[in-house]
Structure formats: C-alpha cells, structure tokens
Amino acid sequence: MDQIFKKPEDSEIILTELMLPSHSNFSGKIHGGFILSLMDKAAFASASKFSGEYCVTASVNRVDFLNSIEVGELLTLRAQVNYVGNSSMVVGIRVESQNIRTGEVKHCNSSYFSMVAKDENGKGVKVPGLIISDKNGIRRFLRSIKHIKMRNKRKIEFSAENFEAEKYKDVLKDYNVKIEI
C-alpha cells in the first residue's frame, strides 16, 4: 500500500467560544483549567481530522499563560499538526482572546500536544506523512523532533535506574534547597 501524505492545513481546526461567567475563577478571570480543556479538544479534533482515526493525548508540552482572559471575550484556538511519527502527531495550538467592544486581540498562550492515533482495540495506528511546503513548517517539524529527543534523554537521565545524585550536588548549591542525604 502506498504511503499517504497530507498537508498541515488538512488538520487545521479553529474553535471560537464566548467566555462566560461560569468559566471564571475566584479572581474573575477565565480559569486556566477550562482553557486547557478547550486546548485538548482542539488537539483531539486536529489530530483525528488529520489521521482519520480517534486520537488520545499522550503528553502536553509546557503551557505558559501569557495574558489573562476576561469574561465576555471571544476565545479563538487555532490548531494544526506540526509533526508526525508512526502513530503519533504533535499538534501546535495558539490561543488568542478578543475584546468584543475594542477589537483588541491578545495572544494568551501556545502549546504542543502529543497525540496518538488508536484503532478500536486501543492499538496505535499508522498516520499519514506530512507534506511540508514552507520554512515555518520545517521549523515546526524540527522543533518537535528536538523536543522529543530532549524528552527521551531526560527520561533516561532521571530514571530511577540511571540517576546518580552525586553528580548533581554541586549544581543544587545555587538553589533554595537543603540536601540531607
């Protein structure tokens, strides 16, 4: 069977939702957990659209909340696949809020969700390859490769079997920690 390839645009998802008082936290701003839930929905939709399979969230890269979101603002999430492996995909998500009255748009956060395509038995399913046609696409793909390699290296370095605390005692002297081993 021939390999299928798709463009990142084939995975593009745009979700827009009005932020309601029921979405707010105690300070009256939109709750970060609600935003994360919307981001997960966007990642699922993008990866599933691209792969043609149901997808699950395997991991989430860091999420830095850059600007608070107010009740009454429109929140727009843009998601698309930036990287594909065998059954995995990295979906980039950008979140922006817009003040309806002033039209001001704020970048609230961006993140990367690692998603895995699964069959009806929960087994990983091969996903289409990715067609990259611009420098931004290459940059995003390579960024994902680097992140995956760094994550795997960190996982090995700090595994219970491989960790050597003695190697890090000098590093920790500059931090607000007291080691009593």
Residue bearing the bigger pLDDT, 179 or 155 = 155
Does the residue 36 lie in any domain?
yes
Q: Residue 40, SS3?
A: helix
Q: Mean pLDDT in the chain?
A: 95
CATH number of the domain that residue 126 is part of: 3.10.129.10
Residue 99 has pLDDT above 90, yes or no: yes
pLDDT score, position 148: 95
Confidence of residue 179 (pLDDT cuts 50, 70, 90): confident
What pLDDT is stored for residue 169 in this prediction?
81
Q: Is the pLDDT of residue 80 over 70?
A: yes
For residue 39, is it left (φ>0), alpha (ψ between -120 and 50) or beta? alpha
CA geometry: angle at 89 spanning 86 and 94, to 5°? 170
In a domain, 164, yes or no: no
- Joined tokens for residue 17: 């939702």
Number of domains, the chain:
1
* Side chain identity at residue 169, one-letter code: K
In a domain, 33, yes or no: yes
Domain assignment present for 171: no
pLDDT at 78 over 80: yes
Is residue 1's pLDDT more than 70? no
pLDDT in tens, 125-171: 999 999 999 999 999 999 999 999 999 999 999 999 999 888 888 88
Which structural domain, as residue segments, surrounds residue 33? 5-132
Judge whether 163 lies within some domain. no
The backbone torsions φ and ψ at residue 75, rounded to the nearest 5 degrees and listed phi first, read: -105, 130
